[in-house]
Copies of this chain bind each other. A is one copy, B any other.
Amino acid sequence: MTEGKSKKDIAESKVLKAKKAEFAEWYEQILPAAEIIDNRYDVKGLFAWMPYGYNIMLNIKSLWDNLFRDSGIKEMYFPLIVPLNYCEKNESWWKGFKEQAFWVAGKGEESKHILRPTGEPAMYPLFSLWIRAYSDLPLRIYETVFSYRYETKQTKPLIRDREIGPWYEIHTAHATKEEAINEIKEAERINDVIWQKLAIAPLKVEKPIWECFPGAVGAIEYYTLMPDGRVLENGSLNNLGQAYSKKFDIKFVDKNGKEDYVWQTCTGNGERYLGSLVSVHGDDKGLIIPPAIAPIQAIIVPIYYKDDKDKIIKTALQLKEKLSSVVKLDADLRDETPGSKFYDWEIKGVPLRIEIGPKDIEKKQVTIVRRDNGTKIAVPEAKMQKEIPKLLDDIQKNLLEKSKLLLESSIGTAKTKDDLENPKKDILKFFWCNSERCWMEIKGIKEGYELFGSDLKESKTEGKCIICGKPSRKMGYFANTY
């Protein structure tokens, strides 16, 4: 992982450089080309999910459904339409969302309701009815929904939409501050598993207190490095403290008969997992879907001439039957040239292509091509069932490793303000004093760039704040953010 050459290889590779400059265009083209979405729908910031794209998204959703269930977090559903009296309970939440809300009403009526931009105002009034005593705690629930924001910024599918989703929100309530802290640790554990399945190495940072909801204890956020060198916020774990429970009057009686407000956390993410997956793994040929979440892990392409068509198609179907217990696969029997089939499945990012032609049959083998590195290997029929799962494992590992190396190779160190003004790497890491004043000063240094968070662990060695020079062990991250 720390091997110098491969880091350099990745950082210098032409494909990635090309993607960096042309990423926005590449991204816009790849989503419809790979049949992830169709954005010809006639409302800004809204699009239709195509079957292939939705299947990938639902596979990601299955990941979180299973992880949450195993952790004992229960699924619920809260209404889309939120009355103003719920919204107004937390004025700082409402201040942030009222201008960006979709307002809804009956025909000709005055709007007194909005579409959910986030879950809190629909959920917490009910929490206050459900929670009475310590025995009602902890409350650990989630919902997977679409949320709605009347974005004023430029929209970008899966990254910034007016209809955001599918998206989960976990909301928990606890009797003590310590339990809430442990819940955040559990959320970290779960998110780390999800990222591993997505084969992406994100950057995990701590937000300073002034960037959290007023009254909250703290927040951890994930960021993914996108091919254009910018970082994308990708999931947040909020330790809300008693900030909301005081607004929504969520109280409980503890074992000693004393009344107190509950301690809450909320964490959420969704379609941005896919937005970063598309971006991080994709290359000039299209998508590369990690095997752990690919709807089709291998595609069989029969290669025939007129004479042997029937025989080869029959073999391809037998192959499909034989392999269906070890790999999610399909056979492409369309009346197209092999070349055009290769092209289609490469764009869609199917991890393995299994070619079966006259020579393969003769040699009792199949020819397998890896989507991640283009390697072509002949595998004897007798070994297929063992080899294919191994290849899929290897692709999964390779994608994750590549993503780790890319992230590491993209982080540089800044010593001076000048380093921040002229960044030599996509992400710069440096000491800072953890004061709001220096945070704000760093924000003003370079258009679009910001100090977006700090390392979760303090540095073993002490340094000096890049702005004020005060001694500190806090390391911050600086980049162009989405």
> CB within 8 Å of B: which residues of A?
38, 40-43, 46-51, 54-55, 58, 74-83, 85-86, 98-99, 101-107, 111, 113, 115, 122-123, 125-126, 129-130, 141, 146, 148, 150, 162-163
Contact = CB atoms under 8 A, between A and B. Distances in A.
B42 A81 contact: no
A105 B107 contact: no
Contact of A55 (B40, B54, B75): B75
The 6 lowest CB-CB distance pairs between A and B, nearest first, are A51-B74, A49-B77, A46-B79, A106-B150, A104-B104, A48-B78
A301 B141 CA distance: 25
A120 to B, nearest CB: 14
B78 A126 contact: no
Contacts of A48: 76-79, 122-123, 126
Given A48-B79, A103-B104, A103-B105, 18 more contacts: A38-B129, A41-B126, A43-B81, A43-B83, A43-B113, A47-B79, A48-B122, A49-B76, A49-B77, A49-B78, A51-B141, A58-B75, A80-B148, A80-B163, A103-B106, A103-B107, A105-B111, A107-B150
A231 B281 CA distance: 54
Contact of A104 (B76, B115, B126): B115
Given A74-B51, A76-B50, A104-B115, A129 B40 contact: yes
Contacts of A77: 48-49, 54
Contacts of A79: 41, 43, 46-48, 163
A50 B122 CA distance: 14
A98 B77 CA distance: 27
Nearest to A46: B79
A119 to B, nearest CB: 11
Contacts of A148: 80-81
Contacts of A126: 38, 40-41, 48
A434 to B, nearest CB: 37
Nearest to A52: B74
- Residue among A75, A81, A130, A146 with the highest chain B CB neighbour number at 10 A: A81
A104 B106 contact: no
A106 B113 contact: no
Nearest to A85: B42
A298 B434 CA distance: 55
A254 to B, nearest CB: 17
A102 B98 contact: no
A80 to B, nearest CB: 6
Give the one of A74, A106, A113 with max B CB within 10 A: A106
A98 B104 contact: no
19 contacts: A38-B126, A38-B130, A40-B126, A41-B78, A43-B113, A46-B81, A48-B78, A48-B122, A49-B76, A49-B77, A50-B76, A51-B76, A51-B141, A58-B75, A81-B148, A98-B107, A101-B107, A102-B105, A103-B105
Contacts of A76: 48-51, 54
Contacts of A101: 107
A46 B78 CA distance: 9
A186 to B, nearest CB: 18
Nearest to A98: B107
A474 to B, nearest CB: 40
Contacts of A51: 74-76, 141
Contacts of A129: 38, 40
Nearest to A48: B78
A238 B58 CA distance: 28
Contacts of A49: 76-78
